[in-house]
Amino acid sequence: MRTNSRSNWLYVLLCTVFLAMAMCIPALAEEGAQEEEIVFAAHRDQVRSYEDAVFISQNMGVWEPLVTMDETGAPAPALATEWSSNAEATEWTFKLREGVLFHDGSTFNADAVLANFDRWKKGPFSSEFNGINVDNTFPGLTGVEKTDDYTIKLTFESAVPTLDYNMMNYGTPIFQPECFGEDGNFVKDAIGTGPFVLKEYKKDEYCLVERFEDYWGEKAKARAIRCRTIPDANTKISALKSEEIMAVMDIGAIQPNLAKELVQDERFAVTSCVTNKTHHIQINMEKEPLSDVRLRRAISMAIDRSAIVDQLYNGYGQASSNWLTSTCPFYKEEAIDYNLEEARKLAEEVLGGERLKLGFLMRTKDLDRYPFKAEAEYIQAVLGEIGIDTEITVLEENAVYELWEKGEFDLGLAMQSFPNSEPYARFESMFRSTGSTNVQYHRGYNNPEMDSLLDQVKGEMDMAKRGELYGTMQDLLIEDLPVINLYQEEALAAYNTKITGYALTISGFNIAEVSWA
């Protein structure tokens, strides 16, 4: 039989081509998968209205501040690369990062920063995330000028020794100046300098960000990330289990009991980190007998904070009686005094054997984010043991604020976040006798010693002495108990192991590091 060598050669060639194509198909499919958008879910919209101070959460990587926060809570370079002050801390000079573009292609420079300062001065602006108040961030600011295209100089009436602490993250969000109208509110969607561009959003449904290819730093690893809004905790977890979403994010991302159940499935993992947020019981000290520190101390001593963290939060958190968190450089660890028997004696002194009825106020939106219902019921039970009967009332957020402003409340669960590592503004608002929050929400705290300490710490240049003053202030809060602190929040999130780079930090998480595994 004769063999057709030409036919054989053609046969071998075709087989080789088909084999090569077959080998390439998985690689091409894998490459295509890497370009698919990654879907997250959060309890609340990550994009708000045009009236919101920052329009979109910093977590989405659209905008950047002048100064950010490192892993220890200290100031770190972002759009400002370095800074210095004169000896009196009344003049500060900031060098700006060169070669940075806004998402519309315009140049970031000193003029853009000055335009943002002009906008901030028109505030304060409120936000679902963290508002902007130029008087808190830049107290006594008298001048803002550019000395060249990439240098600005700030001047102040008196010393601002921790200005860089004030300016971290939400203290100095930078946007393309054309985003703002005459009143300082947004007139168009947020345009920042971050690793992601805001491409699309729909209220109460989702937002979509895509990688900014002209980003000044390392490019985002994911091509696009969509964040869906799913308020209900169980619905979020169902979506995660069915792989409709790859991760849950933002405050109250996943309740601890659900996280414990979820990690039994090897497809999923959790990430956690102690945050700059504390949880506490708010008290109306304008009312008797809550104005009596003995009763406040009895309430505090009756609560086993460690039991709350261990049993209700599965150990995710840090029991604490302190107003500050351990992420703050001025934090002073305070002893936790838990003594139910002594609590009964103190309550007896104040109540004289009579039972006291108090209201216990909570916000509806917190119930899906935290095990607050169980927490409130635990507090209700232990207070019952010292002669205090509480009635738990759950209302929408606006209704709660209305009662606070009228002073028509007794107790309630509340949270306090610290947007940066300088706690002065929060202390000033909450604990000065004339502080805005203290007065507005009828806290009723008035201690001349605290007022004096606030006056001293405001201009203290020596960081060690500044720390001592803050330490004394923390001691005073333990003594006076204008709020009863319970624990430091440990942020908790869950994700599918098909993605990588998802890790929480004390200021959120770096969305640019997230990618398909």
Instruction: Examine the domain organization and report whether 342 and 454 are in the same domain.
Output: yes
* Rounded CA separation 249/45 (Å): 11
Residues 465 and 357 in one domain: yes
Are 264 and 175 members of one domain? no
Show the beta-strand stretches assigned E in 59-102. Answer: 64-65, 67-69, 75-77, 80-85, 91-96
Give the pLDDT score at 468.
Answer: 97
**Percent residues over pLDDT 70 in the chain:** 93
**What would the DSSP string read from start to end of 293-320?**
HHHHHHHHHH--HHHIIIIISTT-SEE-
Q: Is the pLDDT of residue 144 over 90?
A: yes
Using the predicted structure, report yes or no on whether residue 397 has a pLDDT greater than 60: yes
| 326, pLDDT greater than 60 | yes
pLDDT at 6: 42
- At 300, is the pLDDT very low, low, confident or very high (cuts 50, 70, 90)? very high
Residue 17 pLDDT > 70: no
Asked if residue 40 belongs to a domain, the reply is no
Q: What is the pLDDT of residue 13?
A: 41
The total domain count for the chain is 3
Does residue 444 share a domain with residue 332?
yes
Query: Over 70: is that where the pLDDT of 176 sits?
Result: yes
Asked whether residue 375 is assigned to any structural domain, the reply reads: yes
Domain encompassing residue 503: 196-273+492-516
pLDDT at 198 over 60: yes
In a domain, 42, yes or no: no
CA nearest 172: which of 49, 57, 326, 65?
A: 65
CATH of the domain at 415: 3.10.105.10
> How many CB atoms neighbour CB 199 within 10 A?
14
Checking if the pLDDT of 89 tops 90, the result is yes
Q: Is residue 303 situated within a structural domain?
A: yes
Angle of CA points 425, 401, 356, to nearest 5°: 100
Task: Determine whether 342 is exposed, middle or buried from the number of CB atoms within 10 Å of its CB (0-12, 13-18, 19+).
Answer: middle
Collect contacts of 110-115 with beta carbons under 8 A, ≥24 apart: 110/146, 110/148, 110/149, 110/150, 110/151, 110/152, 111/146, 111/149, 112/174, 112/176, 112/177, 113/66, 113/79, 113/146, 113/152, 113/174, 114/144, 114/145, 114/146, 114/152, 115/177, 115/180
In a domain, residue 450? The reply is: yes
> How many Å apart are CA 404 and CA 440, to the nearest integer?
8
Residue 22, pLDDT > 70, answer: no
pLDDT of residue 294: 98
pLDDT greater than 80 at residue 24: no
Instruction: State the pLDDT at residue 196.
Output: 98
- 188 class by beta-carbon count within 10 Å (0-12 exposed, 13-18 middle, 19+ buried): middle
Q: What is the pLDDT of residue 34?
A: 53
Let me know if residue 395 belongs to a domain.
Answer: yes
The better pLDDT of the pair 1, 83 is held by 83
| pLDDT band at residue 33 using 50, 70 and 90 as cut-offs | very low
pLDDT attached to residue 355: 97
Per-residue model confidence (pLDDT) at position 459: 85
Q: Which of 179, 205, 220 is the last residue of a domain?
A: 179
Same domain, 168 and 67: yes
Spatial CA neighbour of 116 closest among 59, 46, 63: 63
| Cβ contact 75:161 at 8 Å | no
Q: Summarize pLDDT for 360-370 with one digit per residue, the tens.
A: 999 998 988 89
Interval 19-39 mean pLDDT:
54
Question: Which residue would you say has higher pLDDT here, 484 or 71?
Answer: 484
Domain final position from 179, 204, 230: 179
Please tell me whether residues 437 and 479 are part of one structural domain: yes
Tens of pLDDT, residues 450-468? 999 999 998 898 999 999 9
Q: 25 or 170: whose pLDDT is higher?
A: 170
Enter the tokens of residue 366.
Answer: 């917190």
Q: Are residues 439 and 305 in the same domain?
A: yes
Does residue 338 sit in the same domain as residue 477?
yes
pLDDT at 252: 83
Domain shared by 412 and 309, yes or no: yes
Nearest CA to 427 out of 366, 360, 472 is that of 472
Whether residues 252 and 301 share a domain: the answer is no
Average pLDDT of the segment spanning 261-279: 92
The domain boundary residue, chosen from 126, 149, 179:
179
Residues 394 and 312 reside in one and the same domain: yes
What HEC string does 498-511 produce?
A: CEECCCEECCEECH
| Greater model confidence, 403 or 368 | 403
Domain assignment of residue 261, yes or no: yes
Same domain, 505 and 363: no
Q: What is the pLDDT of residue 60?
A: 97
So what's the pLDDT on residue 99? 98
| CATH number of the CATH domain containing 209 | 3.40.190.10
Q: Which residues contact 344 (CB under 8 A, 6 or more apart)?
A: 298, 302, 385, 386, 387
- Whether 44 is covered by a domain: the verdict is no
Q: Provide the sign of the torsion angle of the four alpha carbons 49, 54, 59, 63, taken in this order.
A: positive
Is pLDDT at 4 greater than 80 in this prediction?
no
Kindly report the pTM of this predicted structure.
Answer: 0.82
